[in-house]
Chain A
Amino acid sequence: EPEVTQTPSHQVTQMGQEVILRCVPISNHLYFYWYRQILGQKVEFLVSFYNNEISEKSEIFDDQFSVERPDGSNFTLKIRSTKLEDSAMYFCASSRQVRIDTQYFGPGTRLTVL
C-alpha cells in the first residue's frame, strides 16, 4: 500500500538555524499539507498546497515558514530561523481530493530546537 514518507524522523537544531523537513507524498496525489503538534497539545494545521501554490494557511504559518515542491516527488517545509517554540512533531499529508477524509499522513518528523 502506498504511504507518505518523511525524513528525518528526528531533527535537532540550534535556535536561529534554518531547517528543512522533507516529505514524499503518495505519487498520484494532488494536495499536500503540513501539520504540527507541540508536545501535549493539539494537532494544528499549518498549510495546504495545490498546483504549485499555497491554497490555504493558518496564522501559525508566518514569514518564517515556506513550502516548496522542488521536483515531482518531494514536498518540503522550511523554517528560516528556528525558535524554541518551533519544537514539535511535524506531519506531512497528501490527498487526491481536498476533503480531509482522503488525507494520508506520514509518520512525522520530531523537531527539537535547543
Chain B
Amino acid sequence: AQSVTQLDSQVPVFEEAPVELRCNYSSSVSVYLFWYVQYPNQGLQLLLKYLSGSTLVESINGFEAEFNKSQTSFHLRKPSVHISDTAEYFCAVSHASGGSYIPTFGRGTSLIVHP
C-alpha cells in the first residue's frame, strides 16, 4: 500500500516571497509522483510530475519539485509567488509499474498569497 502526507493544511505567504509545500510518501515499490493544483471552482489540474530521469521537475508557471528517494519526499517550491498562485495543491503517488495506476492523494495544502 502507498500513502501520501502533506504536512501543512494551510500555508500563508506574502506576494513575491518564496514558498515550499511539503509532501512525503511511503511505498514498497517504485513510484510516480505528481502535484495537482485546484483553483476556486475548478477541477484538479496536473501541475508537474516525476516519472523517471532527472529528479528535479518544473512547471510552466515557475513551480518546481524535487524527488528525493532517500527522504521519500517530493516538495513543491516556488522562489517568488503571485496572488494568482492562491489555490489548493495536492500531492499524489502511483505505482510506477505493475499493479494499479490509481493514485493515492494527500489531503491538500491551501496556499494563500497575501498582497
Q: Interface on A for B, CB 8 Å cutoff?
A: 3-4, 9, 35, 37, 40-45, 48, 56, 58, 91, 93, 98-101, 103-108
B49, CB-defined interface residue at 8 Å: yes
8 additional A-B pairs beyond A42-B107, A56-B102, A105-B45, beta carbons within 8 Å, are: A37-B108, A42-B4, A43-B90, A91-B44, A93-B43, A99-B101, A101-B34, A107-B41
Residues of A within 8 A of B106 (CB): 42-43
The answer to whether residues A98 and B43 also contact, given A40-B107, A42-B107 and a CB cut-off of 8 A, is no
A-B contact count (CB 8 A): 60
In this complex, which of A43, A58, A105 has the most chain B Cβ atoms within 10 angstroms of its Cβ?
A43
Q: List 6 A-B pairs, minimum CB-CB distance, nearest first.
A: A105-B43, A43-B105, A105-B44, A42-B107, A100-B103, A107-B43
Query: A42 contacts B105, CB within 8 Å?
Result: yes
The answer to whether B107 touches A108 (Cβ under 8 A) is no
Counting contact residues on chain B (CB < 8 A from A), the size range is: 20 to 34
| B29 contacts chain A at the CB level, 8 A cutoff | no
Picked from A40, A45, A107, the residue with its CB within 8 Å of the CB of B102 is: A45
B24 at the interface (CB under 8 A from A): no
Within 8 A of A (CB), among B85-106: 90, 92, 94, 100-106
Q: Does B17 contact A (CB under 8 A)?
A: no
Residues of A within 8 A of B49 (CB): 101
Bound Cα distance from A93 to B94, whole angstroms: 16
Inter-chain contact B43/A101, CB cutoff 8 Å: no
Q: Mark B11-34, 1 if CB is under 8 A from A, else 0.
A: 000000000000000000000101
Inter-chain contacts of B92 with A (CB < 8 A): 43, 100
A47 to B34, CA, bound (A): 20
A41 to B106, CA, bound (A): 8
